[in-house]
Structure 1
């Protein structure tokens, strides 16, 4: 049997941060990656990370605090997220940002995004981040990465500690022992029809665009050994993808966070557009035939952000994915919704924006508590057909603040840790943009630190 100190399952952002952290601490590490390349669902993400009090914010004149970040996370999560996890994130987030910078991860810009009271969406290129961490791993002789090596099962020793991984590599089944711990960072189950049917039947028909290997393997392996699971009732798709996003180009736009409104095929608004786009996805999926459009004017179009994964509206136009018209009447005709309904909807919305009060849905901001809505009145006008996609599941294995996997009684399962999308409890009922990649970094490193500590098992 092969022997290591730590075994990491999955090479997305959480797994790679864990691999670098462990490697730099000098321990013997094996990382098993199911696919033939690193990245998982990380490289499919928009690349936002949620950090507060950074040098980027300071340079932009943005006043923020860890306390505000925590408050936003709990509010967006509907107060049902695990506050202990959120508080640990708050405590470790700035250090994690600086650690990434020190390891060559490039932060390109800063935007206001879903769930934040101030601009704190720090944007990375996910491919660049993964490759930077991979370059560091290759400098560490004590870290081994195996590709096309899916983990199959976990085994306990005679003392009840999980210390062995069964995995496949080059057509052979192999066992590997981990003396310090096993870290599950294998992603979610966005590509498992079996699990989606079981836990999210309401999302039948949503686009499936998650990581190709995200079939819930890690959740199943932990569940077999008594792991509790959390947040499954809050599974929702991600709103804002064009219906063509199931193909090679995953076009997405969140113009509603810059001032657009959302209408259904009846030409009616149906939701407060400033809330989390996971909740917007739920509302959109309940509309007739699940057909919805984002509608905006040139004022919003002028807020397009070049090369931004969510806000580059000009790119959507170049891809011929936008409807454009000089009048609302022409736009309504383009998207085949009742002209009178669209005009009435926008008239009501404009009046609310001018009065500072949205009588229909209570919208007071562009996103969460940030930004002021503006009337949709400056031609030309635009519409973007948008649908819901299952990109990431944001629910799974229950962990404590030490990233230890816990059973239904909150007791740690000896030898087992988890980090990243595979875990539940952190996001709760909603989703704050950037918190998924953020927690991958924070808890990926915590899992290693706790596994290597000589402290008694935490209960």
Structure 2
């Protein structure tokens, strides 16, 4: 059987793969998208619904002053200087253009919130299903684009010139090979469902829930690895804090009340962390607590900050689902969540005194999240408590790329014909994570990968 030939082959149909596909449609080239699952979207459908953009019309309408420079500085700060500066600066360079491109292509942005790692509110909320379906419709309606679902990519091969161009995949029990003339783009997500890779690179996360996309087994990372790709950020693998223990893939049951003013305690009713830091860093500390048990604690004033329909801040929905305990007094709440009454009262009293004095003596908390928001006391009953745990939703470590989305070998040289974007990429986040930057980088670098591949930039060694 003759092998089908395309200009670009994209592995994975989540945010990165779909943005790459739509970008390719404006260049009148033939594109093949191979998706292992029986539906599109991957882990993008499970995301927290935020994309990180700066100085947008939504921010300006809310009177929020932001800039690309502040955005980039926040990312580098959260990454503790371990992220690849060129990648972060490329994000900054293309972020406004990509935001406008998404809007023009029908992706709907609803509101803006201050979330993890932001100095100002810049978490632009989308409905992932709407965004994914819109991008899919745009790509699929183009006669030059072919989607194949249930297509499990097994290996990549180089041609006689040393360029990655052959894609071997399996569908319905049969083996197929497709040819990419200009480039192969890996956009197949991370490995949050791979016990083999998690045990090898992040054994400290054994106690975290596994709620990533079902297809997130690290396939794309292994494909690139075989072709000589270098890897980045594995030492920084962390789980995400904020999930109720009942969470699974379809039901995220997530609430980040601590970014609205709640505190976090262990089973001894003691605080153990600065609640304003990245929820991934909080997750590391939470897994170290006795029996892995922690709670978020807050009062009615903070409960009133609930945002209807928000994936991270709809606390009233979690209450209605029976995932939050509430009581008229701290003693009653302590009994309900089975922590020492005296300890809980002492912890709250100490915290409130510190907040009123403007100094958290124990953990140095001075804001709600990163550099944004004024601390609040916990003093207005009724009081609330939610048992909270850590989950592996996304891995944020993997293939080394440059600012052009070219996959790099250990000598920082591009591998001819191979590109990567989205969660499969490492080096961007570094030691921390800013909410919204995952979907943001997927869209930005998905488009960059297509542009680079079609430009046919010579690879020299």
1:113 is aligned to: 115
1:268 is aligned to: 270
Contact 1:187 1:420 in 2 (8 A): yes
Contact 2:46 2:249 in 1 (8 A): no
2:344 is aligned to: 342
What is the TM-score with the length of structure 2 in the denominator?
A: 0.99
1:12 is aligned to: 14
Q: What is the Cα deviation at residue 225 of structure 1?
A: 1.1
2:165 to 143, 154, 163: 163
1:430 is aligned to: 432
Q: What is the Cα deviation at residue 248 of structure 1?
A: 4.6
Q: What does the per-residue CA deviation read over 1:8-31, in whole Å, with 9 as the maximum and x for residues that have no partner?
A: 000000000000101221100000
1:394 is aligned to: 396
Uncovered stretches (5+) of structure 2, i.e. residues with no partner? none
1:35 is aligned to: 37
1:182 to 176, 181, 184: 184
Distance between the aligned counterparts of 1:117 and 1:232, measured in 2? 26
Uncovered stretches (5+) of structure 1, i.e. residues with no partner? none
Q: What does the per-residue CA deviation read over 1:90-118, in whole Å, with 9 as the maximum and x for residues that have no partner?
A: 01001111110011100011100000000
Q: Segments of 4+ in structure 1 off by > 4 A?
A: none
Contact 2:192 2:217 in 1 (8 A): yes
Computed over aligned residues only, the root mean square deviation of the Cα atoms, in angstroms, reads: 0.9
What is the TM-score with the length of structure 1 in the denominator?
A: 0.99
1:144 to 134, 143, 146: 146
2:304 to 290, 302, 305: 302
Q: What is the Cα deviation at residue 346 of structure 1?
A: 0.8
Contact 1:24 1:140 in 2 (8 A): no
Q: What does the per-residue CA deviation read over 1:310-331, in whole Å, with 9 as the maximum and x for residues that have no partner?
A: 0000001110111100011111
Distance between the aligned counterparts of 2:196 and 2:125, measured in 1? 33
Distance between the aligned counterparts of 1:133 and 1:74, measured in 2? 30
Q: What is the Cα deviation at residue 247 of structure 1?
A: 6.7
1:445 is aligned to: 447
Aligned residues: 459
Q: What does the per-residue CA deviation read over 1:317-363, in whole Å, with 9 as the maximum and x for residues that have no partner?
A: 11011110001111111111111111111111101111111000000
Contact 2:406 2:419 in 1 (8 A): yes
* 1:280 to 1:50, Cα distance in 2 relative to 1, 3 A: same
- Aligned: 1:124 with 2:126: yes
Distance between the aligned counterparts of 2:313 and 2:357, measured in 1? 27
1:254 to 244, 253, 256: 256
1:315 is aligned to: 317
Q: What is the Cα deviation at residue 457 of structure 1?
A: 3.3
